[in-house]
Amino acid sequence: MTEKKNTRKKGKTKISDEILPPAPVEDQAITDTLRINYMPYAMSVIISRAIPEIDGFKPSQRKLLYTMYDMGLMHGARTKSANVAGATMHLHPHGDASIYETLVRLTKGNESLLHPFIDSKGSFGKRYSNMAYAAARYTECKLDDICEAIFGGIDRDAVDFVDNYDSTMKEPTLLPTAFPNILVSANMGIAVGMATNICSFNLAEICDATVELMKNPEADIIDIVKAPDFSTGGLLIYDREQIQSIYETGRGSLKVRARYSYDKKENCIEISQIPYTTTVEAIIAKIAKSMKEGKFKEISDVRDETDLQGLKLAIDLKRGAEPEKLMAKLFRSTPLEDAFPCNFNVLIGGNPKTLGVRNILNEWIAWRTECVKREMYFNLCRMEEKLHLLYGLKELLLDIDKAIKIIRETESEKQVIPNLMKGFNIDEIQAEYIAEIKLRNLNREYILKRISETEKLEQEIADTKDKLASEKKIHAVIAKQLADIKKKYAKPRKTQLIFPEDAPEFEEPAKEVYPVTVIMTNEGYFKKLIPYKGNLPQNSEQKLKDGDFITVREDTDSECELLFFTDKCQVYKAKADDFETLKPSMLGEYVPGKLGFDDGENVVAMLLARDYKGSVAFFFENGKAVSVPLVSYATKLNRKKLTNAYSDDSPAVGIFFIPEKEGKKPVYEFLLRSTQGKAIIMNSDQLAAKTTRTASGVYVFTLKKNIKIETVSIFTDDGSEEMKKFAKYRKSKLPSTGTLLEDYDINARQIKFDF
């Protein structure tokens, strides 16, 4: 083998070859780690990402709209959305994909907002659908006309400007929205430890309520702002007390249902508006699933017929179906009726606050008052500067020839301004202005025309100062702006109100309860059989898979709840009526598939919970056992799956139902057999009773290393002489090492005992 040449030069050592000492490690308290590392991140998400401010925008939305304003997209032709997304990265360096997603939501085409801020062209998806929007290179956009009310005064010091992230340009901290956009545009965000979900309200109603609150801070606005108004329309079930609570606290829930019509000729229900919180695809999926389960037998087909005219969901009915009753069922069990959870969390002065509608409007009025004051003060300064110049021009009118003579006879350019100041007794600014007048304008007509503005300016300055000194007059200015915005941009309500009595709930007829026999097999197959004349012979032949056998066979009724315990420590709940009625000659329904088990999850045991009385006995491979009350698996809500159903410290080898004890005698005896061939017989009274579902229990069988419990079965003592042989396996004190099973005992057990 050829020896490799060492190409390393002598006297030189690579850094990687040196043995570097480990970096010093300093202990840090977890509280310090949270304070130093986590809290800044959490505050950044709350303040700079997820929660909107009083102008109604999140930072990403504000930066996007200001970029479009700065690009000159307020008027003129549209530009490619890709140009806007790229330019916005100067203010919001989070990738063009997230910027474009923000842009999509603000467009007319997406229909997420009652009053979109972006006039769009192209496919931008829909709020009510999962349909994907087109790429930014294919779509075009510009600012919508309503943005005039968003940016008015931004160039007149109405809001503060700060440096962007790399200090190369300025951006506004807020946009001077001339209407309460915070309540007109829907907004949702999830921060760290808090969230916000603000529904949209009708622009006209919000403008009227704002004006009323400026007149009377104690006014009751619920008769003005009747209820939220969603861009997807729908019917809102009006509950005055609930809405009043939301208006006061900023928290609550509103029920919204779809709007539909019935086409008698086609025997079809057409849905044209759906709740804001759902999509067409989610509704169709839920209806289709329920149809497979046999819940909507009146429906023959459901399909999406949405086109350029808007949303349309068609539900074909079978002959004889009653549309009103069917819709009541659909509202009750599908997203055609959904709840909008209100959480009006807003940043006020950099601090998140949950406010009601009244308090949000009061905060907006206070903030908008400051914006208008700043804008007025800016205009006042400009007018005073202009008036000051005109006063200087007025002095020039007294002797134009003198001014010309001063300029002509001044030898140095630098002396022109001082000489004019001295000659007319004016200051430097006025002299500079006079010196810049063109020669052609040094005539009496031009100067008189300019001076004529003086009186008008003096009046405007006086009016502005008068307004600045009176908050009531500032509010009058805001009220006029709101009236103009309402007249120009207001739209009729999309979400109509209905009262609970106009939305009756049809009661479903009570289900008939009938006797059934339920059968569970070792391989996870379930059968529900109807006994013939109230009786199903025990020896009736049941079709099973090869190698499969019956583990549970019980007589019960159709409303009995079934608990399926799995090998992943979970419980799935169902009623006997949820399963199809089968014949003995059929294989049965595969429970993991029927109930939607996790991948690789199998049934360990099935128990019947008729009234949730009694307890459940668990036996584990490691020799432990425990008893848990069956009521621990009862739930107030209609939950179909319970996690952490029992201890996962060791696999379960036996799960049994133990009825309530009525006499002194134990309910059951159990025969436990280990892989070593030893056995013990214990009774249900010897089980450790725990109230926690995940309790691991106590040891009942002492096992050697690598030995585990193999089987557990119910032991039935019929009092015969043969059964007396099994007395040696009964243990009064536990845990026990067990007794070695003899051959005749094993054979007897196989014959006598129910596995």
Over the stretch 164-177, which tens digit does the pLDDT of each residue have?
Answer: 999 999 999 999 99
Q: Which token pair is 66?
A: 């200001």
Rounded to an integer, what is the distance from CA 114 to the centroid of its chain? Answer: 20
Q: CATH 1.10.268.10: which residues of the chain?
A: 363-489
CATH number of 611-755: 2.120.10.90
Check whether 537 has a pLDDT greater than 70.
no
Give the pLDDT band of residue 111 (cuts 50, 70, 90). Answer: very high
The answer, yes or no, to whether residue 538 has pLDDT greater than 70, is: no
Give the C-alpha separation, 741 to 735, whole Å: 17
- Judged by DSSP in three states, 466 sits in helix
Query: Which residue spans of the chain are classified as CATH 3.90.199.10?
Result: 57-176
- Gap between the Cα atoms of 80 and 476, Å rounded: 41
CA–CA distance, 227 with 235 (Å, rounded to integer): 11
In this predicted model, what pLDDT tens digit does every residue of 316-343 receive, in sequence order? Answer: 999 988 999 999 999 998 999 999 999 9
Q: Name the class of domain 259-335.
A: alpha beta
Task: Decide if 605 contacts 566 (C-beta within 8 A).
Answer: no
Active site residue 138: yes
For the domain made up of 57-176, the CATH class stated in words is alpha beta
Task: Dump pLDDT digits (tens) for 484-502.
Answer: 999 999 999 999 999 887 7
Name beta bridge partners: 571: 565, 642
pLDDT score, position 232: 95
Between vectors from CA 359 to CA 355 and to CA 365, what angle results, nearest 5°? 130
- Whether the Cβ atoms of residue 573 and residue 530 lie closer than 8 Å to each other: no
What does the mean pLDDT of the chain come to?
A: 88
> Which of helix, strand or coil describes residue 252?
strand
Average pLDDT over residues 681-706: 90
What local confidence, expressed as pLDDT, does residue 12 receive? 47
Residue 237 phi/psi, 5-degree rounding, is -75, 110
Provide the phi-psi class of 363: left if phi over 0, else alpha when psi is between -120 and 50, else beta: alpha
| Predicted local distance difference test score (pLDDT) of residue 210 | 97
**Token representation of residue 522:** 């070792």
Give me the residue label for tokens 């129910």. Answer: 754
Which residue is it, tokens 């040094």?
442
Respond yes or no on whether the N-terminal peptide bond of residue 735 is cis (omega within 30° of 0).
Answer: yes
| Active-site position among 38, 138, 165, 612 | 138
Report d(CA 465, CA 472) in Å as an integer. Answer: 13
Tell me how crowded residue 238 is: count the other CB atoms within 10 A of its CB.
18
497 is written with which tokens? 């109100």
Q: Which range among 223-232, 238-247, 467-476, 658-667 shows the weakest confidence by mean pLDDT?
A: 658-667
- Secondary structure class of 350 (helix, strand, coil): coil
Element (H, E) at 395: helix 357-397
Distances (CA, A) of 741 to 306, 517, 699, 727, 748: 72, 35, 20, 12, 11
- Of all residues in the chain, what percent are helix, strand and coil, respectively (each to 5)? 35, 25, 40
Whether 273 contacts 234, CB under 8 Å = yes
State residue 506's pLDDT score: 60
How many CB atoms are closer than 10 A to CB 81?
Answer: 28
Q: Which residue has the tokens 């009025």?
A: 365
| Confidence check: pLDDT of 656 > 80 | yes
- Which is nearest to 736 in space by CA: 676, 653, 680? 680
Helix or strand or coil: residue 194?
coil
Query: For 717-731, what is each residue's pLDDT tens digit?
Result: 777 777 777 888 888
Judge if the upstream peptide bond of residue 537 is cis by omega within 30 degrees of 0: no
Q: What is the CATH number of domain 363-489?
A: 1.10.268.10
Contact (CB, 8 A) for 209 and 180:
no
CB 268 within 8 A of CB 317: yes
Domain with CATH 3.30.1360.40 in the chain: 259-335
- How many CB atoms lie under 10 A from the CB of residue 118? 26
Mean of pLDDT values over 731-744: 82
Residue bearing tokens 């199903």: 536
